[in-house]
Amino acid sequence: MPLTEGRQPYFLLILLCLALYVPGLTGLPPIDRDESRFAQASKQMIETGDYVRIQFQGESRAKKPAGIYWMQVAAADLTQHPEAIWSYRLPSVLGAILAVLMTFAFGQHLVGRIGALLGAGLLAACFLLVSEAHQAKTDAMQLAAIVLAQGALALFYLRREKRPGWGPAMAFWLAQAIGILIKGPVVPMISILTILTLSISDRSWGWLKGLRPLPGIALVAAIVAPWAWAISHATQGAFIGTAVKTDLLPKLLGAQESHGAAPGTYLALMLATLWPASLLVVPALPMAWKRRGEPAVRFLLAWIVPNWLMFEAIPTKLPHYILPVYPALALLAGMWLAGGYKVRAWHKALAVVWGVIGTVLAAAPVVAPKLLKLDYIPAFYPFAAIMLVAAWMPVVTFWRGQAQRAAMQAMVTAVIAFSSLFAIVAPRLFPMWVGVRIAAAVPAGAPLASAGYHEPSLVFLHGTATLLTDGGGAAQFLLDTPDAWAAIEASAQDAFLAKLAEAGQSAETAGEIDGFNYSRGRPAHVTLWRLKKGG
């Protein structure tokens, strides 16, 4: 039976997703900063029983709605491992798998079953989605909501004569509600820009008939309003206003938290962030433009172009912001592959650049330990050699004009590369995991203050009561708290010792940790201190 018949595509895609997303899920330490902040806030919901307010220690996190936190809490409760970061990552894994499956389910109406299967597989394997599936954040589950909304919308655009019924209409509005609860306005914004682009370019709004806006908006309100009321009541109306003022508007009006970049950044990074799908996506773009009059291609372009321009125009840029348009790009690649288009000379040149990116990934297990001043790690070298071969096999196949086979080889390459990097290489790069090493050195439950090293992973790993302070504050913490420990980064050590001397006390070292703070891009030297008995 062909691979595209019946339920086989879904089983194949699930197996591919598991091979990509499960390796490294349990062994990869909490990542700073966003993942650790999300996971810690969810952990505090479990600790306090307050499922309305979102807090990191005593600070309100008025940035995102509660949807993803509730999902993470449910996952941690279900697995009964609220102390383990992997339990909070499970919603991201689920979101990524759902996004891939729905890309196939809806994509077959746009590009056919073969094209949809290839496109969904390429989406599953792209670096951005694999990365998000390994982190306890919003973006993978948000992508599932986006694909549900856009897929349902596509049915209304394609089936004008026989409009879809209540099911697709309510699916569209359900996706809007879920998206709002996960990340505010992003999902509605993607759909609105798509609708406006299609309706204005076609000079027709009739295709939207049957979307049932009144019942749909009522459904969205019924899902979103209870939490909106509860959080407004719990914070005296401050949460939503603070979220707009401190998170949404700063992103739209300026480069928030030093994450600014010029327009065109996402385009420049696309070969890497879409890798390995970029090998097939870029050749598909000229085809899409030539076939822009076809309804399916028109819909995919309306999904991609205005939203891409919008993300490029927003001053604040992070690599994962562009992820919402990648399912549409992957489906265009699937259409190109299914259409049997000829591999041209410039496609082959692009394949060489693609191979170079794969070479960089293959070199990472060899180069990263040296940059972090680690000893020789023999286990890394065989993986580097396998990854190097796997990175160039699709290039050779592509040069021979066998694009579909190259696409399948690229998916295998992604499994080899990403499972190695996430499960084997990254967890062993010990200098990067400073918080892990501090938490391992300090007895569980012992009072701990950290000065100079304020990464949220340390709070998640050692406990909510971990005090993030300055050198003087850490010294006072030792003076006031029996059996306390202090983790003092080199930049805070003088103030720490001066405060102790001022109090006529002294401390003794209990360990030293040399590492690299990747969030700040600089080395970190942390000394563990305890107050001298009778000192």
The answer to whether residues 120 and 106 touch, using CB atoms and an 8 Å cutoff, is no
Angle at which helices 471-480 and 493-502 pack, to 10 degrees?
A: 40
Closest C-alpha to 115, from 372, 300, 243, 276 = 300
pLDDT value of residue 257: 54
**Structure token pair of residue 378:** 């023999």
Closest C-alpha to 184, from 251, 128, 136, 125 = 251
User: Are 146 and 264 in a shared domain?
Assistant: yes
User: Are 195 and 104 in a shared domain?
Assistant: yes
pLDDT value of residue 156: 96
Q: Is 146 contained in some domain?
A: yes
User: Are 154 and 78 in a shared domain?
Assistant: yes
| Domain count for the chain | 3
Give the CATH number for residue 449.
3.40.190
Boundary-marking domain end, from 285, 305, 338: 338
Q: Is 1 contained in some domain?
A: no
Burial of 290 (0-12, 13-18, 19+ CB in 10 A): exposed
Which portions of the chain are predicted below pLDDT 70?
1, 242-260, 534-535
pLDDT value of residue 248: 62
pLDDT value of residue 254: 55
User: Are 331 and 452 in a shared domain?
Assistant: no
User: Are 236 and 253 in a shared domain?
Assistant: yes
The answer to whether residues 34 and 136 touch, using CB atoms and an 8 Å cutoff, is no
pLDDT value of residue 371: 87
User: Are 138 and 152 in a shared domain?
Assistant: yes
pTM attached to this predicted model = 0.95
- The residues facing 8 across adjacent strands are none
Per-residue model confidence as pLDDT tens digits over 108-140: 999 999 999 999 999 999 999 999 999 999 999
Boundary-marking domain end, from 338, 373, 397: 338
The residue range of the domain holding 469 is 433-531
Boundary-marking domain end, from 404, 429, 454: 429
User: Are 146 and 290 in a shared domain?
Assistant: yes
User: Are 303 and 443 in a shared domain?
Assistant: no
pLDDT value of residue 375: 79
pLDDT value of residue 235: 82
Q: Is 3 contained in some domain?
A: no
User: Are 468 and 410 in a shared domain?
Assistant: no
| CA dihedral angle for residue 72, residue 77, residue 78, residue 80, rounded to 10 degrees | 120
Burial of 81 (0-12, 13-18, 19+ CB in 10 A): middle
